[in-house]
Amino acid sequence: MDVIKEFKVIGKRLPSHDAVEKATGQTKYADDFALPGMIYGKILRAKYPHARIKRIDTSKAEKLDGVYCVLTHKDVPNNAIISRFGQTRAVGGFEGVYRVLAEGKVRYYGEPVALVAAETEEIAEKAIDLIEVEYEELEGVFDPREAMDPKAPKIEDGKSNVVARFKIRKGDVAKGFAEADVIVENEYMSQFIDHAYLEPEAGVAWVEDDGSITIRVSTQVIEHYREIAHVLGIPESRVRVITPKIGGGFGGKEDITVEYYLALLAWKTGRPVKIVQTREESLSFRSKRHPYKFKYKTGVKKDGTIVAVEAELISDAGAYMTLSPWVLLYSTVNAIGPYNVPNVKVDSYTVLTNHPPSGAYRTFGAGQACVAYEQQMDEVAKKLGMDPVEFRKKNYLKKGDTMANGWKIPNTVALHETTDLVLKYLGKKPKPSGPKKLVGMGIASGMCSYGRMIFLHDTSRSKVRLELDGSVTIECGVQDVGAGQEASLCQIVSEVLGVPLKKIRIISGDTAATPIAGTTTATRQLYMSGNATYLAAMKVRDNILTKASEIFGVDKSELIIEDEKIKTKDGKSISLRDIAVACAADGVELFCEAQFNAPFGEVPDPETGQGRVFPDFTYGTTGAIVEIDTETGEVEVKKIASAFDVGTAINPMRVEGQIEGGAAMGIGWALTEDVKFEKGIAKAQSFAEYIIATAVDVPEIKSIIVENHDGLGPFGARGVGEVVLAPVPPAVINAVADALGKRIKELPITGERILLALREKS
Amino acid sequence: MEMRNLVGTEVVVMMRPTSVILADFDYSAPKSLEEALREKKERKDAHIIAGGTDLIPKMRGQVVKPVYLIDISGIKELEYIEERDGQVRIGAGTKISRIIESKIKIDVLQEACKKLGNPLTRNKATIGGNLCNASPAADTATPLMVLGAELVLKSLDGERTVPVEKFFVGPGKTVLRDDEILTEIRIPLPGKGAKEKFVKVGLRKADAISVVNCAVLLKVQNRVIKDAKIALGSVAPTPILAKEAQKTLIGNRLSEELIEKCAQIAAKESKPISDVRGSARYRELLVEGCVKKALRELM
Ligand SMILES: Cc1cc2nc3c(=O)[nH]c(=O)nc-3n(C[C@H](O)[C@H](O)[C@H](O)COP(=O)(O)OP(=O)(O)OC[C@H]3O[C@@H](n4cnc5c(N)ncnc54)[C@H](O)[C@@H]3O)c2cc1C
């Protein structure tokens, strides 16, 4: 496909078109938007983690001056809905019922029970306090292992709490363990963490003149317009979702956030309605990263060859199933990590509890698996008395190997390279900076798919149009979460059509105006919409080259496009503007809407988990150096180096941005972040208690880009958005374990846990 | 809906943090201290607001529902740092960032101020607000305690001075009367031979409330400790002086063994509780660690 050999734009450090606009505060995020006559919506939330609703009385709230409407489940045309995530193909068995507003009972503390719309935010807040709800408290269950017990309270009445279960069976683990010289068994845990995006969930909805609904909302998935239409009981064509630039998503805006509430309130009142969730609402009640309980058993030969791995994964799905089975499938496929293991047995379960629904979070379950398998790799190396790097290198997957799910890897796995680069940068483990200090060094490798699970039959569409003055318009339904989804498409078109970035405009994220491009999730936009945009631009390129070849009387292959001109080898040229005018005069199409289809496949065999699940993976390595203060337990991360084979870096600055962001996020995951649910109630309710790393907690980060140019994205790119996080937490955790000489298997590894562990030792 | 939010060892019950402040209150912004004192006398139910960095979050959380706010942030005569009569005098309305930048050196206080919150907070927060908020974790309290500072409390009817360690009564509670305003902090110059140190442990390097903080001041002559002050924050209902630990130091020379002993006694003197930031046990261990660190720095 790649006829373009020498890149002029791809791979260049070009600032994004929206960088200045963002840096100067011009960007209008969801909350920066208002309409005349706009009113405000608020949500009444459950006071108990598990309770029957005996009675809801909204009369006092309705009578309050300035209140437009108060809604409960009775007012929602279709209150029980199944979340589908815009995939083009519905697959049974993965979807659970979700309720827009609590009906019959509440399943988690903070579950939305009623909605209010009022003239001002103050009135809406006061009205919320006037709604009376009578509850009968039910026994709750807050531990997924306990929730698996058939006698445990049921979240969905009459149904098992275990909502999905997967298996992987490869080879014969019994035989494998019999051959092993050393067997290592461990349990690990990962905690509830929050996306902590700068922009909480927010949006404005209004009713159009023709009676249809428009919702301008911060979302990673504009295609939820279909479910919104279903909830309202109106045709999909009558709901439009627009996403402005998003102030961070990380998976937290993959599920519906405030869309239903906005749509219902606008629909009932006829007025534009705004909802902005508070930080406390976002932290306490919105979806979180699934906590996991892991059991690992690894069998190895004396020389370090892994012969068998058996793993059990249990995730806490929270009170509604939402995306949990899919997240679990990711964890399951990733459970072994980037290692070649002949005998594998994985059993995984996701279980309902009375916590807020867990959801998508950067790496979608692959990161949790990486936290477990990379700790286990270090533990096994230690037991073997082998250097953890050598042990990894002995077992890294390579091209041609088969993964646990039987998929034969067709392209490069550059883990030896990424490991060496990281180690080279980290250098020797430094001496402690003073007495009462311990230094540790750790590495971890990880992998993460890009593109959605192939049984979803994922597609993306994009449109490219050459204007008559030689400028270009792109229309593509991507949601730009701030990672430069738009900017990369611009850069691709700039390369293909020889148009400078400043002459390219992109219109994105609007279900009524842009071709549907699917979700900005699963590290899929560069891969999917990048390819769709490339295809569209190549078609336009072909049309204008054909025209130019007629004009110059030379073959198309003799022509090159650069600097807004089509040039012949003997120095003749025509400007894009003139060629556009010439094409228009002859009715040659100057636009193309192209669709890119990912590889299509089937759901893997449920009994063995054998079958390809993803289009491809990105692999990489992180190394960390930490220093621990033995008198306070404080950890200082001194250095982070991360290397990933990104195939081709469309823009190295953006790749580095992702690697650095992943590092900062990973430090928080490993060391400080914890929502701390206690009987279903979050103890960390604001950023004063939910501790994310600040600028001074994040050390120097070395971002290392490896390019083997054999990814499935445009120009051989692979996805980077999620994988850059995966190996960071285990690298930091392994560094802490190295410093301490013992492992704390519960996350986060807080100063408190460290100090108590140090005291135990002495 | 009640939400429990724990600030230091102070337990604040957040009713329901709202996007807007629900309390209906009257507001005035007096331009002089005199005017403010008059208003405070007339409206005993009034809340003073200075930088608002403690009060506003509490108002959003419906923990405090003021009916009247007297905004003293515009009163210039409350913002100063000066040296007079062997004392450093700081106006209660002085911003934390200004204390950090001051050429008049009060090392232990300035160190603490540098570790308070983040740059934005420090540009709004006042030293008076930090003290009157009376959080056991207040970062300026322990330095002022070891310095032997006094607070000037004024009302229309007169003024009184209170040693800072007598100012705090409990979490959020002080000896301030309804009609009084804290106007000035007076710090005796530590004098020659005095060495000070502030150590803070938060849950991260910046923008973190103290899990434990500790200020130490030693007066040393010929390597013998003549006077010692050790103040501990976030380990009891108010910041405290570790009096027994102080005693172990006086008359002795600093050594590893003495430091060890002193730190252990300090840990025993603390009465921490468990909260969202750490368990009581962790805090005890931290007291030991912080005291050791501070003393070792002064060796
Ligand atoms: C993000 C953030 C981080 C923070 N980090 C820290 C930290 O690390 N360490 C720390 O100690 N604190 C921290 N705080 C708390 C707060 O910033 C400080 O306590 C600050 O010094 C309070 O000062 P203020 O002027 O804002 O007080 P305000 O909020 O205006 O007032 C606080 C209280 O004191 C009363 N008051 C104020 N001035 C007077 C006066 N002159 N006379 C009588 N009563 C008065 C008010 O009525 C109110 O009850 C943080 C706050 C935030 C928002």
pLDDT at position B7 is 39
Architecture of domain B3-71: 2-Layer Sandwich (3.30)
Give the mean model confidence (pLDDT) for residues A560-565. Answer: 95
Structure tokens at A311: 């793993």
Residue where a domain terminates, one of A569, A597, A625: A597
Q: Does pLDDT of A157 surpass 60?
A: yes
Q: Does pLDDT of A440 surpass 50?
A: yes
Residue A225 lies inside a defined structural domain of this protein: yes
pLDDT at position A94 is 75
What is the pLDDT confidence band of residue A129, given thresholds at 50, 70 and 90?
very high
Give the mean model confidence (pLDDT) for residues A156-175. Answer: 96
pLDDT at position B18 is 83
Give the mean model confidence (pLDDT) for residues A513-522. Answer: 97
Same domain, A521 and A541: yes
Q: What are the tens digits of pLDDT across the range A217-240?
A: 999 999 999 999 999 999 999 999
Give the mean model confidence (pLDDT) for residues A49-70. Answer: 98
Q: What are the tens digits of pLDDT across the range A694-742?
A: 999 999 999 999 999 999 999 999 999 999 999 999 999 999 999 999 9
Taking an 8 Å cut-off on Cβ atoms, the answer to whether A278 and B19 are in contact is: yes
| Intervals of chain B under pLDDT 50 | 1-12
* Domain hosting residue A67, numbered range: 33-138+201-276
Same domain, A477 and A427: no
Task: Encode A715-725: b = buried (16+ Cβ within 10 Å), e = exposed.
Answer: bbbbbbbbbbb
Q: What is the DSSP string of A144-167?
A: HHHHHSTTSPPSSTTS-SEEEEEE
Q: What are the tens digits of pLDDT across the range B173-213?
A: 999 999 999 999 999 998 888 999 999 999 999 999 999 99
Architecture of domain B194-298: 2-Layer Sandwich (3.30)
Spatial contact of A14 and A501, defined as CB atoms under 8 Å apart: yes
For chain B, give the longest Cα–Cα distance. Answer: 61
Same domain, A563 and A472: yes
Q: Which of B262, B282, B292 to mutate to test the interface with A (most CBs of A within 10 A)?
A: B282
Q: What are the tens digits of pLDDT across the range A608-653?
A: 999 999 999 999 999 999 999 999 999 999 999 999 999 999 999 9
Q: Is the Cβ of A156 closer than 8 Å to some Cβ of chain B?
A: no
Same domain, A465 and A490: yes
The minimum CA-CA distance between A277 and chain B, rounded to whole Å, is 8
B132 Cα: distance to centroid of ligand 1 (angstroms): 8
Q: What are the tens digits of pLDDT across the range A237-277?
A: 999 999 999 999 999 999 999 999 999 999 999 999 999 99
Numbered ranges of CATH 3.30.43.10 in chain B: 3-71
Same domain, A102 and A241: yes
CATH of the domain at A474: 3.30.365.10
What is the pLDDT confidence band of residue A81, given thresholds at 50, 70 and 90?
confident
3-state helix, strand and coil shares in percent for chain A, rounded to the nearest 5: 30, 25, 45
| Ligand 1 pocket, residues with Cβ under 6 angstroms | B 47-55, 72, 92, 96, 116-118, 121, 124-126, 128-130, 132-133, 137-139, 176, 181-182, 207, 209
Same domain, A466 and A581: yes
Domain B76-188 has CATH 3.30.465.10: yes
Q: Is the Cβ of A701 closer than 8 Å to some Cβ of chain B?
A: no
Give the mean model confidence (pLDDT) for residues A326-335. Answer: 97
Give the mean model confidence (pLDDT) for residues A649-675. Answer: 98
Residue A107 lies inside a defined structural domain of this protein: yes
Q: Does pLDDT of A571 surpass 60?
A: yes
Q: Is the Cβ of A129 closer than 8 Å to some Cβ of chain B?
A: yes
pLDDT at position B15 is 63
Residue A185 lies inside a defined structural domain of this protein: no
Nearest CA in chain A to B292: A631
- Pairing verdict, β A358-359 and A288-289: parallel
Spatial contact of A153 and A138, defined as CB atoms under 8 Å apart: yes
% residues pLDDT > 90 (chain A): 96
Residue A261 lies inside a defined structural domain of this protein: yes
Residue A651 lies inside a defined structural domain of this protein: yes
Q: Which of A121, A126, A634 to mutate to test the interface with B (most CBs of B within 10 A)?
A: A634
Q: What are the tens digits of pLDDT across the range A103-125?
A: 999 999 999 999 999 999 999 99
Residue where a domain terminates, one of A248, A276, A304: A276
Same domain, A622 and A519: no
Q: Which residues of chain A make contact with B13, given a CB cutoff of 8 A?
A: none
The minimum CA-CA distance between A762 and chain B, rounded to whole Å, is 13
pLDDT at position B2 is 47
CATH of the domain at A117: 3.90.1170.50
Q: Give Cα B144 to chain centroid, integer Å.
A: 7
Residue A523 lies inside a defined structural domain of this protein: yes
Nearest CA in chain A to B291: A631
Numbered ranges of CATH 3.30.390.50 in chain B: 194-298
Q: Is A363 exposed, middle or buried (0-12, 13-18, 19+ CB in 10 A)?
A: buried
* Number of separate domains in chain A: 3
Which residues have CB under 8 Å from A241's CB, separation 6+?
A: A214, A215, A216, A217, A219, A222, A223, A224, A225, A228, A259, A510, A511
Instruction: Tell which one of B54, B78, B152, B185 to mutate to probe ligand 1, the residue whose CB is within 8 A of the most ligand atoms.
Output: B54
Averaged pLDDT of chain A: 96
Q: Which residues of chain B make contact with A695, given a CB cutoff of 8 A?
A: 206
Residue A184 lies inside a defined structural domain of this protein: no
B123 Cα: distance to centroid of ligand 1 (angstroms): 12
- Of the candidates A718, A579, A562, the residue with the CA atom closest to the CA atom of residue A9: A562
Q: Does pLDDT of A588 surpass 60?
A: yes
Closest CB from B3, B18, B209 relative to A685: B3
Instruction: Tell which one of B116, B153, B178, B182 to mutate to probe ligand 1, the residue whose CB is within 8 A of the most ligand atoms.
Output: B116
Taking an 8 Å cut-off on Cβ atoms, the answer to whether B203 and A756 are in contact is: no
Taking an 8 Å cut-off on Cβ atoms, the answer to whether A694 and B204 are in contact is: yes
Is the bond preceding A112 in cis, omega lying within 30 degrees of 0?
no
What is the pLDDT confidence band of residue A661, given thresholds at 50, 70 and 90?
very high
Same domain, A398 and A492: no
Nearest CA in chain A to B263: A631
Which residues have CB under 8 Å from B261's CB, separation 6+?
A: B248
Q: Whose CA is nearest to atom 6 of ligand 1?
A: B117
pTM of the model: 0.97
Q: Which residues of chain B make contact with A688, given a CB cutoff of 8 A?
A: 5, 7, 209
